[in-house]
């Protein structure tokens, strides 16, 4: 039997994290069994513990990786600056509160897809989620200040932080509600997204 190289082991671990990220965000952490997870990663059930001590340890890594990816997209949007689609924050809000994000098979951004799970998991998972939320608030606050300065306005950092908290809270809350009713009341789901998007952007 061929020996697994360090590269193969790293690749297998990454496959597990990516498969878990998709499944945890779309189905919920508790709903995903290790056997199904490993099958989705293209690996055998017994190999899980060669990479992670527990499902909780995997959940922490998935939370960190998922937020890192989302925050990377936020940073990229900010670095692009204003364009025909609006300011960076306007584009972030429009993309987040869209039907495409709502219907994403992989659950999309962890801020909404893992919000309920985080409160039911271990403190380690909650800490990883909290760090991700803090990353969003820090990024939003900085961009709120920057966009205000472009208009010749000055916003106190404390006020920018409060606005960032309200912005993220409305985005996550609206997405959570829209997903909760989309199958039985699609028109209501669309209305929630549209109203929240118009309100935030307005």
| C-alpha span between 198 and 192 (Å, rounded) | 10
Quote the Cα angle for 62-67-70, to 5°. 130
> Is residue 9 in some structural domain?
no
Residue 1 — very low, low, confident or very high, per pLDDT cuts 50/70/90?
A: very low
Joined tokens for residue 74: 């936020």
> Is residue 184 in some structural domain?
yes
> Is residue 2 in some structural domain?
no
> Is residue 171 in some structural domain?
yes
Higher local confidence (pLDDT), 186 or 105: 186
Which of 4-18, 20-34, 128-142 is least confident? 4-18
Range of the domain at 62: 54-201
End-to-end alpha carbon distance in the chain: 63
Above 60 in pLDDT, residue 46? yes
Above 90 in pLDDT, residue 77? yes
Beta carbons within 8 Å of 114's beta carbon, 6+ residues apart: 24, 25, 29, 63, 66, 107, 129
| C-alpha span between 119 and 102 (Å, rounded) | 21
Higher local confidence (pLDDT), 9 or 174: 174
| C-alpha span between 126 and 120 (Å, rounded) | 8
Q: What pLDDT score does 4 carry? A: 73
Q: Look at residue 83 and give its three-state secondary structure.
A: strand
Mean pLDDT (whole number) for 82-111: 94
Residue 3 — very low, low, confident or very high, per pLDDT cuts 50/70/90?
A: low
Mean pLDDT of the chain: 94
How many domains, in total, are found in the chain? Answer: 1
> Is residue 77 in some structural domain?
yes
> Is residue 68 in some structural domain?
yes
> Is residue 134 in some structural domain?
yes
Above 70 in pLDDT, residue 178? yes
Q: What is the CATH number of the domain that holds 133?
A: 1.10.357.10
Which of 5-9, 13-17, 108-112 is least confident? 5-9
> Is residue 30 in some structural domain?
no
Q: What pLDDT score does 126 carry? A: 97
Quote the Cα angle for 27-114-177, to 5°. 85
């Amino acid at each position: 039997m061929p020996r697994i190289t360090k590269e193969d082991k790293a690749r297998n671990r990454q496959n597990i994290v990516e498969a878990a990220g998709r499944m945890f965000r779309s189905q919920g952490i508790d709903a995903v069994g290790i056997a199904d997870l490993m099958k989705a990663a293209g690996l055998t059930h017994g190999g899980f513990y060669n990479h992670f001590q527990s499902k909780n340890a995997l959940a922490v890594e998935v939370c960190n990786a998922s937020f890192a990816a989302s925050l990377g997209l936020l940073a990229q949007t900010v670095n692009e600056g204003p364009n025909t689609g609006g300011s960076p924050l306007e584009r972030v809000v429009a993309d987040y509160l869209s039907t495409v994000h709502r219907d994403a098979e992989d659950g999309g951004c962890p801020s909404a897809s893992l919000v309920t799970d985080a409160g039911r998991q271990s403190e380690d998972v909650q800490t990883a989620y909290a760090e991700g939320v803090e990353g969003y608030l820090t990024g939003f606050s900085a961009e709120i200040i920057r966009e205000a300065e472009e208009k010749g306005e000055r916003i106190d950092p404390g006020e920018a932080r409060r606005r960032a908290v309200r912005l993220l809270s409305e985005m996550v809350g609206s997405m959570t509600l829209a997903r909760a009713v989309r199958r039985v009341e699609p028109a209501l789901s669309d209305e929630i997204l549209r109203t929240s998007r118009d309100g935030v952007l307005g």
